[in-house]
Amino acid sequence: MTTKPRILTGDTPTGQLHLGHYVGSVKRRVELQDSHECYFILANIHAYTTRVDKSDEIRRDSLEIVRDYLAMGIDPKKAVIFLQTEVPAIFELTFLFAMLLPFNRVMRNPTLKDEIKVKGLGENYSFGFPLYAVGQTADILAFRAHSVPVGEDQVPHLELTREVARKFNQLFCNVDEHADDADHEKLGGVFPVPVADVGKVGRLIGTDGVNKMSKSLNNAIFISDTPKQVKKKLGQLYTGRQSMTEPGDIHNALFQYVRTFIPDEARVAELERAYAAGDNIGDGHIKVEVAQAISELLAPMQERRKQFEDDDDTIIDILKDGCARANALTEQTLAMAKDAAGYGFFKRALCYE
């Protein structure tokens, strides 16, 4: 038995990963691989919520994300990378957890509301769309994860997860309603109440200079972008500053990039000073420097990625191994949850070919 704390996080396969994914979550995952038991989910059924007609793309994106993970430094020998659709306990727990959440509570989730707006879903979303918010609580709790490294936008989802964990433990495991979140497992609760681990950059702004970097908003720098593409995209970042001698706002989007991607702290401090003072420094110059730093970050990733470019078999093998390891743990959780919830009638085992 390992005593390392456990983390669960992941991505919806909706295309290639971008810098927002990297600084918001993947970078942290790479750092935690040795000290934590790590599970990384490809939430592929959640991609069907809005793209049920694009199953081929979702399948391709699922494999591409694994390539991006490997490129960014995730090691499948240490971390478990798996497909949501191969872990049945997640689906079974989703149904049970749906009974613990008032319908209106799910619909009040601000991230869900935001997505409906941004994706222009209006009133025409599937039943499965809000269900995915419940599903996400099951993704996390099936692994009895203690923490979840995510970007800021995921915090409301995690709050829902924390509510489900508390409610389950109170209802089915006699955990006192005034118990500290941190004590739930110790007091006999099946589920730890997980915490969000939002990194230093919880919300990387996109190259439009306004919104969260996001594939759907066309403001993303992808892990696979060439130095030329990076430079061009950054060139479009609008700050509103008119001249090299105008004092600039070091809290604008450009300076978020400066602080996030230029590794030399002394250089960052000097750029901040010169910009704030309007000391003969143009936005264009800073953009070139940031673009170079980003391309230097991406170059080794792109080099590593080449190894796996045309090799689907290796990727599938990684996923198969990951799913087996994910199922070993989540079947155990499911049995505990069924016992607690009163429908654990007998043991069962999953059968693999």
Q: Write out the residues near ligand ATP by the rule CB under 6 A.
A: 11-12, 14, 20-21, 24-25, 150-151, 153-154, 202-204, 212-216
Q: Taking the complex as a whole, how short is the minimal distance between the CB of residue 19 and ligand ATP, in angstroms?
A: 8
The residue with its CB nearest to ligand ATP is 24
Q: Taking the complex as a whole, how short is the minimal distance between the CB of residue 155 and ligand ATP, in angstroms?
A: 9
Per DSSP, 44 falls in state H
Nearer Cβ to ligand ATP, position 141 or 281? 141
Q: Taking the complex as a whole, how short is the minimal distance between the CB of residue 130 and ligand ATP, in angstroms?
A: 15
Nearer Cβ to ligand ATP, position 64 or 331? 64
Q: Cα–Cα distance between 80 and 88 in angstroms, integer?
A: 16
- DSSP assignment of 65-132 equals HHHHHHHHT--TTTSEEEEGGG-HHHHHHHHHHHTTS-HHHHHT-HHHHHHHHHTT-TT---THHHHH
Provide the greatest CA pair distance for the chain: 75
The sheet carrying 195-197 orders its strands as 80-83, 37-42, 6-11, 147-149, 195-197
Angle between helix 312-341 and helix 55-72 axes, rounded to 10 deg: 100
Q: Taking the complex as a whole, how short is the minimal distance between the CB of residue 212 and ligand ATP, in angstroms?
A: 4
Q: Cα–Cα distance between 185 and 206 in angstroms, integer?
A: 40
Nearer Cβ to ligand ATP, position 84 or 169? 84
Nearer Cβ to ligand ATP, position 11 or 68? 11
Nearer Cβ to ligand ATP, position 10 or 322? 10
First to last CA, the chain: 27
Nearer Cβ to ligand ATP, position 114 or 270? 114
Q: Taking the complex as a whole, how short is the minimal distance between the CB of residue 152 and ligand ATP, in angstroms?
A: 7
DSSP E strands: which ranges in the chain? 6-11, 37-42, 80-83, 147-149, 195-197
Q: Cα–Cα distance between 167 and 151 in angstroms, integer?
A: 25
Residues whose CB is less than 8 angstroms from the CB of residue 147 and which lie 6 or more positions away in sequence, other chains included: 5, 7, 194, 195, 196, 197
3-state secondary structure of 37: strand
Q: Taking the complex as a whole, how short is the minimal distance between the CB of residue 17 and ligand ATP, in angstroms?
A: 8
Q: Cα–Cα distance between 316 and 80 in angstroms, integer?
A: 13
Q: Taking the complex as a whole, how short is the minimal distance between the CB of residue 8 and ligand ATP, in angstroms?
A: 11
Nearer Cβ to ligand ATP, position 119 or 228? 119
Residue type, 314: T
Nearer Cβ to ligand ATP, position 132 or 168? 132
Q: Taking the complex as a whole, how short is the minimal distance between the CB of residue 257 and ligand ATP, in angstroms?
A: 12
